[in-house]
Amino acid sequence: MHDIKALRETPEAYVKGWSSRGRESAQADVDALLSLDKALRAAKTAFETNQAQLKKLSGEIGKAKAQKDEARAAELMTEVEGLKGAIAEAQETERQTEEELRTLLASLPNIPFEDVPLGEDEAGNVEIRRHGAPNILSFPAKDHADLGEALKGPTGSLMDFEAAAKMSGSRFVVLKGQLARLERAIGQWMLDTQTTEHGYTEVNPPVLVREHALYGTGQLPKFEEDLFQTREYVYPPTKSGNSVPFEVKGRYLIPTAEVSLTNLVREAITAEEELPLRLTALTNCFRAEAGSAGRDTKGMIRQHQFQKVELVSITTPEQSAAEHERMTECAEAILKKLDLSFRTMLLCTGDMGFGARKTYDLEVWLPSQNTYREISSCSNCGGFQARRMDARTRKAGEKGTRFLHTLNGSGLAVGRTLVAIMENYQDEGGRIAIPSVLQPYMGGLTHIG
């Protein structure tokens, strides 16, 4: 959400910011917002003015009646009736205008920081640094799907897309045996690393949330088509004693634990002395991938259900820039410990997520594709989400509050990390070597296959 006062004071900054994100209607959006803001303030003024006049006239009616001046009292009462109509009209205008203003504000993306490069799409992203050389194998690299399907156990392939498709459809997978254990090991090791080495507090949050939680972090209303929603029913009692169920709007499955973790400070005032809060969770995540038709249809790169270790930081405005760099380094540390080549990209204005002011993507090397693919995204959202959630902070001894800054990142996506390990640690015979840091989580196992 945006601060309408700031937009009123510096409209050109919002035109520039939204234009840089490829929004052709930026000037029209600002004009519409300012017009609604002006109308809203006018409605509030009309309401307050008429209310004050109503109070004054009520007093005068009392005086007229005390003086037995019924004609004057009747005249004043007629005027009061007119004021009541004007007050009701001003209230309705205020309600409608405020709703229109809020709806438009909620649909507009965050404003990029000044150091974010301009660009229309991923071609405008800038490489900041690179770790390790791309792993060029001495034999033709197999992709993870072929490797996983070739690995066999007592119940068939250890990576079984066919079985998953029969029960759930496309973009699902069944992992079995040692591959299932490896995925579990990756998630547990990542969580242990982020908590014991990087100071994050582990949280086990709900994966089903109400609409307002997703509104707070910016997934709603704009990205509802990418979410999975449950059906829920209520059973109101009837005179006969039988309940007739009817459907109501259900809960949503989280697309990322960012939603659950960030909403922990919703509608609350967090003491500034407690900041930064650093939270992490390993959860299942669910995405409809509505905008990704035809992309990565084979394999585990883009699934409807996947596991991810999420990192969330809650900070003061002064802390957020440094916290963003720290969070990105915490995600990078996982890839370094796994000895995987990756590059850190600063996303351009046209490629950032809706709620971000600045984003770093980590892209890991995949030999089968001979390129780098995203495995983590770390974003500074500034006060955008906090304003939507009414999440504030206050310094000890002070009365005033201000909005928090929120940050989120992947530390990392577990399925994509499994993919990267399989492809980079494969041998010519199709075996997968297990990175040394994961071997204790695998009971000392050194290879799969």
pLDDT > 70: percent of the chain: 99
59 band by pLDDT with thresholds 50, 70 and 90: confident
Q: Tell me the pLDDT band of 245, cut-offs 50, 70 and 90.
A: confident
What tens digit of pLDDT does each residue of 163-192 get? 999 999 999 999 999 999 999 999 999 999
SS3 content of the chain, % helix, strand, coil (to 5): 45, 20, 35
Cα dist. 320→108, 127, 389 in Å? 22, 22, 18
Phi/psi of residue 370, each to 5°?
A: 55, 40
Q: Looking at residues 65-86, what average pLDDT do you find?
A: 81
Percent of the chain with pLDDT over 90: 85
Give the C-alpha separation, 196 to 203, whole Å: 14
Helix or strand holding residue 335 (H, E): helix 320-337
Q: What pLDDT band is residue 63 in, cutting at 50, 70 and 90?
A: confident
Q: Are strands 371-380 and 246-253 parallel, antiparallel or unpaired?
A: unpaired
pLDDT of residue 109: 97
Task: Give the pLDDT confidence score for residue 241 in this predicted structure.
Answer: 66
CA 154 to chain centre: 40
Digit-coded pLDDT (tens) for 181-233: 999 999 999 999 999 999 999 999 999 999 999 999 999 999 999 999 999 88
Q: What is the mean pLDDT of residues 411-434?
A: 98
- Judged against a pLDDT cut of 80, whether residue 244 lies above it is answered with no
Q: What is the mean pLDDT of the chain?
A: 94
Is 80 exceeded by the pLDDT of residue 237? no
pLDDT of 235: 79
Cβ(76)–Cβ(57) under 8 Å? yes
- Range 379-386 average pLDDT: 98
**Residues in Cβ contact with 207 at an 8 Å cutoff, skipping those fewer than 6 apart:** 253, 254, 257, 260, 283, 284, 285, 286
More confident residue, 182 or 249: 182
Q: CA torsion 178→184→188→190, rounded to 10°?
A: 90
Comparison of pLDDT for 111 and 241, the residue scoring more: 111
Name the nearest CA neighbour of 441 among 198, 178, 153, 188.
Answer: 188
Q: Tell me the whole-structure pTM to 2 decimals.
A: 0.92
The distance of Cα 151 from the centroid of its chain, to the nearest Å, equals: 36
Report CA torsion sign: 317, 209, 183, 175: negative
